Structure 1
Amino acid sequence: MSSVKKVLVLCARKLDRLVFADLDQLPSEEREKYSFLYFYLEDGVDIDEYTEQCIEMVKQQDVDAVLSASDFASLVHAAISQTFPHIRGPSVESVFLTCHKHYSRELIGSDVQQVRSIVLDLDQNLGDIMRKATEFYERSGGVCCLKPAMGEASTAVYKVTNTEELKAAVTSLKKDRRLKYISESFLKKWLDVKLYPYSLSHCAMMEEFIDASRTVVTTCYVQNDQVAHASVTDWVFHENPPREGAKSFAGGITPSPVTKDSGRAGKLWEATDIIVKKLIQKGFNDQFIDFEFFPLPNGDFTLLEFNGRIQHDIGPVHRQVFENGDLMQIFLKLVNGENIQKPIQRQGVVGFCGYVDTYCSGKGDDILDFGEVCKIPEVTARCSPDDFISVGEIMCGPLVASTALTGSSFEELRRKHYDICRRILKKPEFSSLEKGCQEMHGPSSSKSRQSQQSDL
């Protein structure tokens, strides 16, 4: 890493601060290599101003590499890369095509089996939107998902099971302009919007609902216009979330059991490579990308979506499960143009990134025991004590913490995750894990939280 003069780290979302925490906490001598720009789009920061500030920092600080972890930060990274030829990164067009799920499917994912969907232009009047949405809903058997076409991290995802829920979800997304972080001026400056008419519209995606127990995610990266495979992860859903109709992730298991079946794993990588090659033609380079697939009963897979960024949540366990598996170090080598050694699985080691969610609104300190969190090195809080956790009508509950665990089996790690959750949650009855605790531990999980902790 000695050739790096200065790395600009883009923290455009609050979650980015967690992703880059290890870099931010380096000893001062190493920390001097990095500049961090902490301004959050979800707090109303203008993406055009953020981009211009980044460009000025590159000029003033002799920056020669950029790191980005979230979807919209990757768009800014791409704009910087287009401005400065010495900054490695993808083109704005290629990142846009990973962010806008309509064009992801229509233009880039069209050669692989994928979830059926339609795009809804929310700038139209409600009656026209509902006619199109209702027709798709009825053809899909009465269960669908609705989400922003350019959303991020499962934000504002609705499961609809009747026309009343459908209208409520459409109305909510139509009103919620906060989700449209990418301004028209940014897109007009960096993208040929004539090629993508929906780029300037406030759009939603309506999808068929796949009632699967998990998604399977392939992670790879592109260097020198060549794709390199990194890993396959299973992201498993909770079986019994507390809210009716919810569908929330319990966490990620790496490596996926699918990797033991070379035929099925080969199908995943074949679909992955088909799409990545299309993105490379649009300028995707020097960046990570991951692909989410639903496994089907017949053994095949159907593509849900892909994201042009590092799969940050699995990072803390990925480096323990794989030799040369530190995703952040791989990313640093990517943006600095260095050779990368392929990650190799350590024999008999399984990793689990566990999610801790809530369906209870309130201050972070009322939901999470931050004193206990500080005692457990495998836990990362994803909120602060003074943050207000807001739970709306969306399908997924907000995440308040996560765990990074390794062991010899998923059952072992699931049990450890549940034990940790019982220690750190003040209101476990409002979390998706409570049912899992009861299944794993029996009636003892219904005791008071103080009694639960004394048992550990």
Structure 2
Amino acid sequence: MSSTRSDVSVLIPFSSEDKDKTEILRQCPTVQVSEVIFNNIEENETLLDYVQRLEKLVADHNINIILPTIDLSTFVHAAIARDFPHIPGPSVESCYLAFHKAYSRQYLDPTENPTPYDVVDMDSPTMLEDAQRALEKVGLPAFVKPAAAFDTFGVAKVENYEDMKRALQNLRTMRDEHPDFKSSPSAAFFKDYFKQYLDVEKYPLALRDVVIVEPYLDAVALYTVDGCIVDKEIVQWTITDELRFDHQEAKFMTVISPTSEPEDLQKRIWDVYDGVMTRMVQFGFNNCFTNIEVFRMKDGQLRLCEVNARGSKQLQGCYRESYKNANQDYVYLTAGRGVKYVTPPNTGRWASAYIVKFDNMERPGNLMDFDKIEKLKSDPDMMFILTASPDDDVTNFTGSAGCHFCWLFTYGNSREAMIRKLVDVLKLVVKKPERLTYPVHYGM
């Protein structure tokens, strides 16, 4: 990639001060980062409140780049890009279609046999009758998940109507008891924002709190397919595998980079990615990083799982070892500046991103040894990302995918060495291994 160096001022929404992040951004070879501003949402702010506060910050500090790191920040990015034409970014509509699982199915799925789905409004007086009809439409077993949530929040496999009622009640209770929990389905949090920035007549589910109901797909593999859109062109980056845990309802977790699949299958997977991204570009997605998840079924058929209109911390933690010149953040820093990206070359190293999930959450210090984690940080073949301290209160609502406050990355010169490292580190730092949602072992 090549470009003339120029200064950029960067705003990172939904974030706290991070000196390491700032240093990495300042190492971008093609632009000079003059300022990095971290800003987080405040208690009781709606999404629109937050966007309006940040727009004043953008004007006061002459910000010209927004760096989204989570799903919610893509909406901030898109709104500011609309209101400040000098800032490159996507449309709100394209980000919304990626974010809302039902509309992703309706508008973005290019596969020959799209997965059937239905939605259930959690505030409808006919919620239970609607749930029954949804199960009749998609069949059993089914998968239920909030249509506007993230981090695998609240997903549940249902075998019958009683399971369905229980899953809906759990989600509704969680929403009502924890209205500020951002991964909770919360139409109220988004509502004013969508009224201002989205065509809510075209997308009426934006103003409703709904879950999506789908058939439970008994897939044999799941892939994350990663790339970016630069000047409306699709740039393919990487395919990564996920470990499979057959004892779990949500049975795919832990990214493995690079993929081990043969070239002919990779070509078919890239065809799905290009089909999704072509649709995203048509809806205004541009100068952004993006990835999708794709299931492979027993008969070889590929099915779209989900679409994400941003990069991934998991993948970036893998890229640092397994690929050269593969920094997702640099796509945003150089957006609109003529930088031509190519598929990053493989280093020959293997990497894994394991989310340390627990079935029942409690005080983090009871579950993991934070002192040992601190001592291990100097090991070049591993990295921790913690989102909680030992004595923090953590929300104990997991769904069938578990809940987490720690990401663990391990690296090696072979897939086997990387897995051995992962198992060895978990043995050292996890105090209650019997509570791990996804236990790993040698030989995986």
TM-score above 0.5, yes or no: yes
TM-score normalized by structure 2?
Answer: 0.88
Q: 1:221 to 1:26 in 2, by over 3 A?
A: closer
Q: 1:416 aligns with which of 421, 439, 443?
A: 421
Q: Deviations over 1:386-443 (max 9, x none)?
A: 2223433611111232222222332221221111111111111111344x34x669xx
Structure 2 counterpart of 1:325: 326
Structure 1 counterpart of 2:430: 425
Residue aligned with 2:89, SS: coil
Residue aligned with 1:324, SS: coil
Q: 1:73 to 1:347 in 2, by over 3 A?
A: closer
Structure 1 counterpart of 2:10: 7
Structure 2 counterpart of 1:132: 130
Q: Deviations over 1:284-312 (max 9, x none)?
A: 11111111111111222111111111122
Structure 2 counterpart of 1:262: 263
Between the aligned partners of 2:24 and 2:140, the Cα distance in structure 1 is 52
Q: Deviations over 1:73-125 (max 9, x none)?
A: 10111000000110000011111111111111112225543332111122211
Q: 1:26 to 1:102 in 2, by over 3 A?
A: closer
8 Å contact from structure 1 (residues 322, 343) kept in 2: no
Aligned AA (1:38): N
Aligned AA (1:83): D
Superposed counterparts of 1:367-406, under 5 Å:
367-377=367-377, 378=382, 379-392=384-397, 394-406=399-411
Structure 2 counterpart of 1:218: 225
Structure 2 counterpart of 1:188: 195
Q: Deviations over 1:162-214 (max 9, x none)?
A: 22121011123344253216421111111111111211111110111122354
Mark the runs of 5 or more structure 1 residues left unpaired by the alignment.
442-456
8 Å contact from structure 2 (residues 411, 421) kept in 1: no
Asked if residue 251 in structure 1 is aligned to residue 254 in structure 2, the reply is yes
8 Å contact from structure 1 (residues 358, 400) kept in 2: no
8 Å contact from structure 1 (residues 317, 352) kept in 2: yes
Structure 2 counterpart of 1:453: none
1:35 CA drift (Å): 0.8
Structure 1 counterpart of 2:77: 77
Between the aligned partners of 1:219 and 1:99, the Cα distance in structure 2 is 16
Asked if residue 35 in structure 1 is aligned to residue 27 in structure 2, the reply is no
Q: 1:248 to 1:332 in 2, by over 3 A?
A: farther
8 Å contact from structure 1 (residues 318, 327) kept in 2: no
Between the aligned partners of 2:62 and 2:137, the Cα distance in structure 1 is 56
Aligned AA (1:312): K
Between the aligned partners of 1:381 and 1:393, the Cα distance in structure 2 is 18
TM-score normalized by structure 1?
Answer: 0.86
8 Å contact from structure 2 (residues 289, 331) kept in 1: no
Structure 2 counterpart of 1:366: 366
Aligned AA (1:399): H
Asked if residue 407 in structure 1 is aligned to residue 412 in structure 2, the reply is yes
1:21 CA drift (Å): 6.1
Q: 1:422 to 1:196 in 2, by over 3 A?
A: same
Mark the runs of 5 or more structure 2 residues left unpaired by the alignment.
none
1:265 CA drift (Å): 1.4
Superposed counterparts of 1:285-324, under 5 Å:
285-324=286-325
Aligned AA (2:169): T
Residue aligned with 2:356, SS: strand
Counting matched residue pairs gives 423
Q: 1:298 to 1:26 in 2, by over 3 A?
A: closer
Runs of 4+ in 1 over 6 A off after TM superposition: 26-31
CA root-mean-square deviation: 2.6
Structure 2 counterpart of 1:97: 97
Residue aligned with 1:38, SS: coil
Of all paired residues, the percent bearing the same amino acid is 23
Higher mean displacement: 176-185 or 165-174: 176-185
Between the aligned partners of 1:250 and 1:414, the Cα distance in structure 2 is 14
Between the aligned partners of 2:139 and 2:59, the Cα distance in structure 1 is 55
Between the aligned partners of 2:136 and 2:47, the Cα distance in structure 1 is 38
Higher fraction of helix? 1
Q: 2:170 aligns with which of 172, 184, 194?
A: 172
Aligned AA (1:58): V
Higher mean displacement: 65-74 or 264-273: 264-273
Structure 2 counterpart of 1:118: 118
Asked if residue 22 in structure 1 is aligned to residue 20 in structure 2, the reply is yes
Q: 1:270 to 1:346 in 2, by over 3 A?
A: closer
Q: 1:286 to 1:191 in 2, by over 3 A?
A: same
Q: 1:149 aligns with which of 147, 150, 175?
A: 147
Q: Deviations over 1:324-354 (max 9, x none)?
A: 11222233223x5241442433253222112
